[in-house]
A and B are shown apart, each in its own frame.
Chain A
């Protein structure tokens, strides 16, 4: 058993920032990550960090742009926190030595990005995430913060109270990937989940293979709801063959999109008459797919992104990494020819429901970064707003978990206060098919199986969780035959890409739910073929697979429930944004394995003003 004040799960940007903040508060903090910190997916972020740093810009403009971009589904307290805290955080990164791109006067450069009314995206070439990740990791090394790398966290240790809002998180269970040992980690103060996005539910994604939604799925099964999962961002410029991201920085610097007829369709076909290529990501993604669907795509699959006119010097100065990516992963020389691009899954706006301090409805359980939904991005995230989210909310969660008083949160969590229960008409009962043994189930109910009544003390809660996890792994490893996770994964990814993509309709979403049910049925028979305890990636992927199923179901269920067109969520049957009925968040609670759908109104009330929903035009 290991014991620390604060445990951070995941060591990307949000996790590292949380760990540094908790350490600065004087807490004994440790990070537990299934990779090594510098392998985290934050490193793949390219474009930049939004922060209102310069004359002519201010946090209110940043907040306004973000609210508009979110299609009025962001919560004002979270968005205003992002906008007010990010300048200080970005300058802090600079003071930690991050190699930002520079202006002639030696100050950090900023550039335009989609949906921004001011060029407020601070960047380091087209590899901003790499530098942010390494800079934060350096600070973790400097402080001597303990890192358990290549330890896979597979379960949270949460008390057994009936209502999630009464539960307390006392720690977690993790598998040492190298040795196969399964150990309990006690958190005296709190656990911060920073496990990143769930992009692997799709087969065409910019996300790393490690992005399997572990945090939200574990938290969900432990009682913390998932929020706004239907809002999946598709990035308009990914390479067709691999899903590798071509940064929005290319369009920010003046890159142009053409269809097969050579038309600059964003203008010529009227998709965004003012902003053109720099319209918001959802707008550009739909425009590209419409061009392809109407027969104006190149090779019926993609469109062209051209940056040649920017000139070699500027491209090399600001977008050099893009040249490498296009050459290495698509065989295209961006200086000589246009790059083929199409939309690909990129980001989950939804995640574990938290308040603006990063805390969930379970005491001592936090979630930050892409795995969380503090409701900063609402229905559509603006480019350049993910990295400030990591550092702003990473810091706050780290501080709060370490005991600092950040005042009372304005955003509520859990089923308290104003909420309404929902219902969705589905072709199958979602989630109903569990796994055969209780040991493979997860969350609060497993702790109840000891028959000695509810477990609420830290010690027994953790012991029970470790025991349950050891049995689960023994069960998966003990079988000699069954279905392998790769087969289920491929089926799930294909169905999600086919049915829960940029354009959605009822029939497709229902088909996806049927396929997810099939995935659950197959998962009952899942087994781990590799008998080794040493670095058993078969085992880890099999456990991840369970998280992918639960996450995919939440995404699809949310998409079926939301009968309107908002932000990234487009529905064939509902072509209007419906503020009267849908200015609210979709939430899903685990409810012993059968998701319970409920809603909470959006917080549009800021510190000084209330944000009035307006028509989004670009």
Chain B
């Protein structure tokens, strides 16, 4: 149960880049006692580590554009305790809370629904909270999502991703609402089943980050945005006219036809959405709609 304070492999990383305290605040005895206490704790932890197998080193990408000494990207090693169930996110939180409070990453729900902690873990896009340390080969490398500008450490710029999501009119549109009071618009179970997987997207951007085409073509809608459009285009409640409109958005120059079915989006999706299949289905639908019989 206990989470002992463990030392980093290189303890000095915590302080080496910090500005030196110019004057020591004299007489702050309590502070000094705290330092002594910590030193003792670390020593104790160090001794314990020698005997224990239950710890692992994570190598974490570091970068801060603003702080001198941190502007050059590098990896820091942190030694963290590993128990059954310890996730990559747990490990990062441990490292932040016990070794280096400047270690920066997004996270919130810890249960794979907020979509904020997608990282590049051992060379693949994964959610930190959903990835167990025990599943990973050592050394464990944790990096920011590729193909996105790094803001700081593991935090990437999400604006472009959000823009692509917004560009497909990501909201329900219908002219066919029932008129009766409290009358819902009916949807068949089959149709709900058809769109179900597409509605599970948590906007984590793992798919976009894994996509070679998106990396090379900034205007490409990308798998997440296409999936979002699919979610509405295939929803029978929007009606045929709106579907035509949706298909035109999807068929635009930088739309579905750019996809080269490399399946990387499908492979990395933490919600198991069959993204490639959805994109292919949109292509088939587009072909069907554009076929003309003279």
Binding site for B on A (CB under 8 A): 35-36, 38-41, 43-44, 53, 87-88, 91, 94-97, 99-108, 125, 127, 129-131, 134-135, 138-139, 141-142, 178, 208-210, 241-245, 324-325, 328-331, 480-486, 489-490, 525, 528-538
Task: Give chain B nearest CB distance to A172 CB in angstroms.
Answer: 21
Closest to B178 in A: A95
**Please, which residues of chain B bring their CB within 8 A of the CB of A44?**
109, 111, 113-114
Given contacts A44-B109, A97-B171, A531-B19, 18 further A-B contacts (CB under 8 A): A36-B203, A38-B202, A38-B203, A39-B106, A94-B185, A96-B172, A97-B237, A138-B171, A141-B170, A325-B111, A480-B19, A486-B101, A490-B97, A525-B30, A529-B18, A531-B102, A532-B102, A534-B66
Closest to A479 in B: B25
Number of B residues near A (Cβ < 8 Å) is: 68
Given contacts A43-B109, A532-B66, contact A330 B85 (CB under 8 A): yes
Given contacts A210-B108, A532-B102, contact A130 B192 (CB under 8 A): no
Expressed in whole angstroms, the Cα–Cα distance for A107 and B192 within the complex equals 11
Closest to A178 in B: B151
Verify B19–A532 contact, CB threshold 8 A: no
5 A-B pairs with C-beta separation under 8 A:
A40-B114, A107-B184, A130-B200, A208-B109, A331-B85
Verify A209–B108 contact, CB threshold 8 A: yes
Verify B31–A525 contact, CB threshold 8 A: yes
Verify A328–B130 contact, CB threshold 8 A: yes
Expressed in whole angstroms, the Cα–Cα distance for A563 and B107 within the complex equals 39
**Please, which residues of chain A bring their CB within 8 A of the CB of B113?**
43-44, 127, 129-130
Task: Give chain A nearest CB distance to B1 CB in angstroms.
Answer: 10
B64, B113, B153, B200: residue with the most chain A Cβ atoms closer than 10 Å = B113
Verify B111–A242 contact, CB threshold 8 A: yes
Task: Give chain B nearest CB distance to A175 CB in angstroms.
Answer: 15
Q: In this assembly, does B65 line the interface, its C-beta being within 8 Å of a C-beta of chain A?
A: yes
Interface of B is mostly: loop
Expressed in whole angstroms, the Cα–Cα distance for A244 and B87 within the complex equals 13
Q: In this assembly, does B67 line the interface, its C-beta being within 8 Å of a C-beta of chain A?
A: yes
Expressed in whole angstroms, the Cα–Cα distance for A530 and B70 within the complex equals 11
Verify B101–A535 contact, CB threshold 8 A: no
Verify A329–B85 contact, CB threshold 8 A: yes
Verify A486–B97 contact, CB threshold 8 A: yes
Scan B20-43; emit 1 where CB is below 8 A from any A CB, else 0.
Answer: 011001001011001000000000
Given contacts A96-B172, A141-B166, A535-B104, contact A329 B21 (CB under 8 A): no
Verify B172–A97 contact, CB threshold 8 A: yes
Expressed in whole angstroms, the Cα–Cα distance for A102 and B196 within the complex equals 12
**Please, which residues of chain A bring their CB within 8 A of the CB of B108?**
35, 39, 41, 208-210
Task: Give chain A nearest CB distance to B176 CB in angstroms.
Answer: 10
Given contacts A36-B158, A209-B108, A530-B101, contact A99 B199 (CB under 8 A): yes
**Please, which residues of chain B bring their CB within 8 A of the CB of A525?**
30-31
Task: Give chain B nearest CB distance to A520 CB in angstroms.
Answer: 15
Verify A534–B151 contact, CB threshold 8 A: yes
**Please, which residues of chain A bring their CB within 8 A of the CB of B158?**
36
Task: Give chain A nearest CB distance to B79 CB in angstroms.
Answer: 17
Q: In this assembly, does B147 line the interface, its C-beta being within 8 Å of a C-beta of chain A?
A: no
Partner of A531 from B18, B25, B203 at Cβ < 8 Å: B18
Task: Give chain B nearest CB distance to A497 CB in angstroms.
Answer: 13
Verify B64–A532 contact, CB threshold 8 A: yes
Expressed in whole angstroms, the Cα–Cα distance for A459 and B150 within the complex equals 37
Partner of A482 from B31, B171, B232 at Cβ < 8 Å: B31
**Please, which residues of chain B bring their CB within 8 A of the CB of A245?**
111
Task: Give chain A nearest CB distance to B42 CB in angstroms.
Answer: 14
Q: In this assembly, does B275 line the interface, its C-beta being within 8 Å of a C-beta of chain A?
A: no
Verify B65–A106 contact, CB threshold 8 A: no
Task: Give chain A nearest CB distance to B188 CB in angstroms.
Answer: 6
Closest to A489 in B: B97
Verify A534–B130 contact, CB threshold 8 A: no
Expressed in whole angstroms, the Cα–Cα distance for A107 and B85 within the complex equals 40
Task: Give chain B nearest CB distance to A54 CB in angstroms.
Answer: 10
Verify A35–B114 contact, CB threshold 8 A: yes
**Please, which residues of chain B bring their CB within 8 A of the CB of A129?**
113
Task: Give chain A nearest CB distance to B111 CB in angstroms.
Answer: 5
Given contacts A36-B158, A95-B177, A138-B171, contact A532 B152 (CB under 8 A): yes
Task: Give chain B nearest CB distance to A219 CB in angstroms.
Answer: 22
Verify B116–A35 contact, CB threshold 8 A: yes
Task: Give chain A nearest CB distance to B129 CB in angstroms.
Answer: 8
Given contacts A39-B115, A102-B188, contact A484 B25 (CB under 8 A): no
Q: In this assembly, does B258 line the interface, its C-beta being within 8 Å of a C-beta of chain A?
A: no
Closest to A542 in B: B101
Partner of A91 from B85, B162, B182 at Cβ < 8 Å: B182
Verify B97–A138 contact, CB threshold 8 A: no
Verify A534–B101 contact, CB threshold 8 A: no
Verify B202–A534 contact, CB threshold 8 A: no
Sorted nearest first, the 6 A-B pairs with minimum C-beta distance are A97-B172, A106-B186, A530-B102, A138-B171, A486-B97, A480-B21
Closest to B165 in A: A141
Q: In this assembly, does B52 line the interface, its C-beta being within 8 Å of a C-beta of chain A?
A: no
**Please, which residues of chain B bring their CB within 8 A of the CB of A41?**
108-109, 114
**Please, which residues of chain B bring their CB within 8 A of the CB of A96?**
171-172
Q: In this assembly, does B77 line the interface, its C-beta being within 8 Å of a C-beta of chain A?
A: no
Closest to B15 in A: A529
Verify A99–B192 contact, CB threshold 8 A: yes
Expressed in whole angstroms, the Cα–Cα distance for A589 and B101 within the complex equals 34
**Please, which residues of chain A bring their CB within 8 A of the CB of B84?**
241, 331
**Please, which residues of chain A bring their CB within 8 A of the CB of B166?**
141
Q: In this assembly, does B290 line the interface, its C-beta being within 8 Å of a C-beta of chain A?
A: no
Verify A537–B85 contact, CB threshold 8 A: no
Scan B147-162; emit 1 where CB is below 8 A from any A CB, else 0.
Answer: 0000111010010001
Given contacts A532-B67, A535-B151, contact A483 B102 (CB under 8 A): no
Verify A102–B187 contact, CB threshold 8 A: yes
Scan B75-116; emit 1 where CB is below 8 A from any A CB, else 0.
Answer: 000000000110000000000111011101111111111111
Closest to A142 in B: B171
**Please, which residues of chain B bring their CB within 8 A of the CB of A105?**
186
Q: In this assembly, does B195 line the interface, its C-beta being within 8 Å of a C-beta of chain A?
A: yes
Question: Which residues of B214-229 are within 8 A (CB) of A?
Answer: none
Q: In this assembly, does B183 line the interface, its C-beta being within 8 Å of a C-beta of chain A?
A: yes
**Please, which residues of chain A bring their CB within 8 A of the CB of B116?**
35-36, 39
Verify A139–B110 contact, CB threshold 8 A: no
Q: In this assembly, does B235 line the interface, its C-beta being within 8 Å of a C-beta of chain A?
A: yes
Task: Give chain B nearest CB distance to A523 CB in angstroms.
Answer: 13
Verify A99–B184 contact, CB threshold 8 A: no
B101, B104, B172, B199: residue with the most chain A Cβ atoms closer than 10 Å = B101
Task: Give chain A nearest CB distance to B159 CB in angstroms.
Answer: 10
Expressed in whole angstroms, the Cα–Cα distance for A44 and B108 within the complex equals 10
Expressed in whole angstroms, the Cα–Cα distance for A99 and B130 within the complex equals 25
Expressed in whole angstroms, the Cα–Cα distance for A53 and B106 within the complex equals 40
Task: Give chain A nearest CB distance to B106 CB in angstroms.
Answer: 8
Verify A481–B151 contact, CB threshold 8 A: no
Given contacts A44-B111, A130-B202, A208-B114, contact A537 B104 (CB under 8 A): yes
Verify B112–A328 contact, CB threshold 8 A: yes
Q: In this assembly, does B292 line the interface, its C-beta being within 8 Å of a C-beta of chain A?
A: no
Closest to B232 in A: A97
Closest to B157 in A: A178
**Please, which residues of chain B bring their CB within 8 A of the CB of A87?**
182
Given contacts A101-B192, A531-B18, contact A53 B101 (CB under 8 A): no
**Please, which residues of chain B bring their CB within 8 A of the CB of A241?**
84-85
Q: In this assembly, does B189 line the interface, its C-beta being within 8 Å of a C-beta of chain A?
A: yes
Task: Give chain B nearest CB distance to A152 CB in angstroms.
Answer: 13
